Amino acid sequence: PGPDQEKRYLYVADIGDNNARHDVKYIYRFEEPALKEGTTEITISSFDTIAFRLPDGKKDTEAIMIDPRTKNIYVVSKREKPVYLYELTYPFKGDNAILTAEKIAPLPLTQIVSAGISTDGQEVLMKNYDNIYYWTIDDKPLAEVLRRKPERLKYTEEPQGEAITFKRDGSGFYTLSEK
């Protein structure tokens, strides 16, 4: 989701920070490009930059979710136990402004490396290196949903498996290893 209901957007998050050194995190949003046959390269020249910081200091965050119902962005811290859910409320105000994410809720998980919300806005996945966690949203606020105990899905561990996303049609999900 994004500013124009008729378009699809990609979000690229520069939010990882293994050593917790960076005050500001960046998310880049742009219209999903169409790859034309015979094209081997696409240049993205038009994009929005969403700059933000966390209210409780520098932290490693690797997981990002965009709620298609509200267009809010959620990030999850990685290295604490519990990890924390943060929210950036749509619309993201201000040119060149650095926003402060709202700290929403602790989650009784750790090492969260990826997360996603289904395209219909009714399911959530999160993963760490060992587990995939699943919730149904049932039209409840995301923070309320994530306070419930998740279902653990079957997962064959991948070497440094750090990505998860729902299939666009909602019939399943994909994971991906960094190795």
DSSP at 33: P
- From first to last of the 179 residues of the chain, give the pLDDT tens digit: 999 999 999 999 999 999 999 999 999 999 999 888 998 899 999 999 999 999 999 999 999 999 999 999 999 999 999 999 999 999 987 567 899 999 999 999 999 999 999 999 999 999 999 999 999 999 899 999 999 999 999 999 999 999 999 999 999 999 999 98
User: What pLDDT, on the 0 to 100 scale, is given for residue 104?
Assistant: 95
User: What pLDDT, on the 0 to 100 scale, is given for residue 115?
Assistant: 98
Q: Which parts of the chain are beta strand (E)?
A: 9-14, 25-31, 48-53, 61-66, 73-77, 83-88, 98-100, 102-107, 114-117, 123-127, 132-136, 151-153, 161-166, 173-177
Rounded to whole angstroms, the Cα distance separating 45 from 103 reads 32
Rounded to whole angstroms, the Cα distance separating 111 from 133 reads 12
The answer to whether residues 164 and 147 touch, using CB atoms and an 8 Å cutoff, is no
Task: Name, in order, each residue with C-beta under 8 angstroms of 132's C-beta and a sequence gap of 6 or more.
Answer: 125, 126, 152, 153, 154, 155, 164, 173, 175
The answer to whether residues 110 and 126 touch, using CB atoms and an 8 Å cutoff, is no
User: What pLDDT, on the 0 to 100 scale, is given for residue 94?
Assistant: 59
Dihedral over alpha carbons 35, 40, 46, 49 (to 10 degrees): 100
Rounded to whole angstroms, the Cα distance separating 72 from 26 reads 15
